[in-house]
């Protein structure tokens, strides 16, 4: 076999393999990219006041514990709660954290976070960064979006826990 033929065969082969991998990814994501709808009324009310009440399945238990114990210094805001409400919400977050979920998003999210890390942001995780690699930094800064944390801007069904890539609409 001459050299050129070998190269083109290799290219063809890797093409076939990567299209298989992509089909697998799309199938899996479409079926399971739903960590679930938020059910706690207190959580929706208190933690949905300034932004989307992020699904607890999007972060590990250790992250929620850290977030809920630093509410006085919450990303430049104060999000303090009375102790009863705080412990009720913390219990809800722990009961539904990523570790408790069988969804693919939760599993991939967990796998992307080092065991010793407790990120305070979903948007800082390697999984989030990987999935949003194609979104240019400038896009997140658009007036209509403002921040990577504004999930609802691009994922119209984010409140229902649906981040399916086929439903994404990036506003101008
Ligand atoms: C007073 C307004 C306010 C309240 C109330 C509030 N937050 Fe936030 N939260 C913020 C701001 C501001 C940010 C940073 C948003 C950004 O970077 O665009 C943030 C970010 C976050 C993030 C990280 C988002 C990311 O980048 O992945 C999490 C998680 C979060 N909040 C959880 C909570 C929880 C849990 C509660 C309820 C106990 C809560 N928040 C209540 C203002 C608030
Ligand atoms: C600027 C628009 C934008 C914002 C804001 C945004 N996303 Fe996305 N997201 C996308 C795009 C585009 C994709 C699809 C990437 C691709 O085609 O693989 C995506 C993909 C995803 C996926 C993978 C879905 C799948 O089917 O595999 C998840 C999960 C996700 N986003 C969660 C979030 C969460 C949680 C937030 C908020 C903390 C968020 N996104 C904020 C644009 C956005």
pLDDT in tens, the chain (172 residues): 445 444 444 444 444 434 333 333 333 344 445 577 899 999 999 999 999 999 999 999 999 999 999 999 999 999 999 999 999 999 999 999 999 999 999 999 999 999 999 999 999 999 999 999 999 999 999 999 999 999 999 999 999 999 999 999 999 9
Within 6 Å (CB) of ligand 1, which residues are found?
Answer: 46-47, 49-51, 54, 67, 71, 74-75, 77, 79, 89, 121-123, 147, 149
The answer, yes or no, to whether any atom of ligand 2 lies below 6 A from the CB of 155, is: yes
Residues 72 and 110 in one domain: yes
Q: 61 CA to middle of ligand 2, Å?
A: 22
Residues 76 and 109 in one domain: yes
Query: How far is 116 from 90, CA to CA, in rounded Å?
Result: 20
Residues 70 and 143 in one domain: yes
Residues 101 and 20 in one domain: no
Q: Which of 103, 83, 112, 82 is nearest to 31 (CA)?
A: 103
Residues 27 and 46 in one domain: no
Do the domain assignments include residue 22? yes
The answer, yes or no, to whether any atom of ligand 2 lies below 6 A from the CB of 151, is: yes
- Containing structural domain, residue 80: 33-167
Query: How far is 112 from 115, CA to CA, in rounded Å?
Result: 9
Look at the chain and report how many structural domains it folds into: 2
Residues 55 and 126 in one domain: yes
The residue whose CA has the least distance to atom 18 of ligand 2 is: 131
Query: How far is 135 from 142, CA to CA, in rounded Å?
Result: 12
Do the domain assignments include residue 172? no
Torsion of CA 142, 146, 148, 154, to 10 degrees: -70
Residues 87 and 115 in one domain: yes
């Amino acid at each position: 076999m001459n050299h050129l033929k070998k190269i083109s065969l290799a290219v063809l082969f890797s093409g076939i393999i990567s299209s298989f991998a992509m089909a697998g990814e799309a199938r899996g994501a479409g079926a399971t990219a739903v960590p679930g709808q938020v059910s706690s009324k207190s959580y929706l009310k208190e933690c949905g006041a300034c932004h989307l009440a992020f699904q607890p399945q999007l972060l590990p238990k250790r992250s929620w514990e850290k977030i809920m114990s630093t509410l006085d210094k919450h990303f430049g805001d104060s999000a303090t709660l009375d102790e009863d409400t705080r412990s009720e919400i913390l219990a809800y977050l722990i009961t539904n954290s990523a570790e408790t979920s069988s969804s693919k998003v939760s599993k991939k999210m967990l796998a992307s976070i080092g065991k010793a890390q407790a990120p305070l942001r979903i948007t800082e995780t390697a999984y989030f960064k990987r999935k949003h690699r194609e979104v240019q930094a400038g896009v997140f800064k658009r007036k209509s979006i403002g921040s990577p944390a504004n999930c609802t801007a691009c994922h119209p069904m984010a409140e229902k826990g649906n981040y399916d890539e086929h439903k994404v609409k990036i506003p101008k």
